[in-house]
Amino acid sequence: MSIALENEQKLSAATPSEGHTAAHAAASPVVQTRDLRLYYGQSEALKGVTMDFHSNQVTALIGPSGCGKSTLLRCLNRMNDLIDEVLVTGSILLDGEEVNDKTLDVIELRRRVGMVFQRAVPFPKSIYENVAYGLRIAGVRDRKVVDEAVEQSLRRSALWDEVKDRLHESALGLSGGQHQRLCIARAIAVDPEIVLMDEPCSALDPRSTTRIEDLIGELRRQYTIIIVTHNMQQAARVSDYTAFLYEGELIEVGATKQVFTKPERKETEDYITGRFG
């Protein structure tokens, strides 16, 4: 109990200062992690992460490779269940509901918390079927509904113009950047509340990166977005909040502007300015 309280205090110290923009003021936490620890077998990959993610905001997770960004992200929709010998302790609250609860309907959770992976792998189906997949398995049979959702998702992921004439061709014939946007379309087609993006712009050219960044800005109005990125400029450009992780520990979290201009911790500053080991 006392630990939880302590965390609470630390967290409130880390949340953005009051004088921020109106949008930030309206933000409320949809996801809260409390002393989240994750073990891969013997090794501890997350060492007690306590932070909030706010609704309709973009939160960027930054940190050196192997610090646990993907692991944290995957905790939020329980993707780590798929890996053997993983132990998770602590709590994750989604709208006040415990995510780590074994009785929770994982299917429902994943429908609410969509994910775009570090490496975009479309299904070996047509472009249309890729986007419609989530709806189909959710049991949506109405053709008109599916058609509409597919078009809307593709438009929002800025892919529609490129693929509208070849919707029924194999998705495997698209380029890497198009794959990435297709996977985003696939994720938002089921209308999740939260979208997790794990380095959506890795292996993309600047133009595609720009498009995806624009897209994130667009999606932000409707969804809560958590994005992992190695690109500091990108984090600064697209996110409202930034969290810096180092070796499984949350070092600092705060409004992006603040973290980038006057970080509270020296490690953060070193990392952002590139002076890091």
Question: What is the maximum alpha-carbon separation in the chain?
Answer: 60
Mask for 123-152, x = binds another protein (CB under 8 A): xx--------xx-xxx--------------
229 binds Mg ion (CB under 5 A): no
The residue of the chain with the least Cβ separation from Mg ion equals: 70
Radius of gyration of the chain from its Cα atoms, rounded to whole angstroms = 19
| Dihedral sign computed on CA atoms, order 30, 95, 45, 35 | positive
41 binds another protein (CB under 8 A): no
Number of residues that bind ligand ATP (CB under 6 A): 10
Among 71, 178, 209, 256, binds ligand ATP (CB under 6 A): 71
Answer with the entry of Mg ion, ligand ATP, another protein, none that 203 interacts with (C-beta below 5 to 8 A by kind): another protein
Of 25-33, 58-66, 182-190, 208-216, which segment contacts another protein by CB under 8 A?
182-190
Answer with the entry of ligand ATP, Mg ion, another protein, none that 39 interacts with (C-beta below 5 to 8 A by kind): none
CB of 248 to ligand ATP, least distance (A): 7
Answer with the entry of ligand ATP, another protein, Mg ion, none that 87 interacts with (C-beta below 5 to 8 A by kind): none
The tokens for 162 are 């490129």
Among 10, 119, 168, 265, binds another protein (CB under 8 A): 119
Mask for 67-96, x = binds Mg ion (CB under 5 A): ---x--------------------------
The tokens for 186 are 């696939």
For residues 17-46, which are near ligand ATP according to CB under 6 A? Answer: 40, 45
For residues 190-249, which are near another protein according to CB under 8 A? Answer: 190, 203
| Encoded amino acid at 33, one letter | T
Answer with the entry of ligand ATP, Mg ion, another protein, none that 138 interacts with (C-beta below 5 to 8 A by kind): another protein
**d(Cα 121, Cα 133) in Å, to the nearest integer?**
14
Instruction: Please report, as ranges, the residues that interact with Mg ion according to CB under 5 A.
Output: 70
Instruction: Please report, as ranges, the residues that interact with ligand ATP according to CB under 6 A.
Output: 40, 45, 65-71, 83
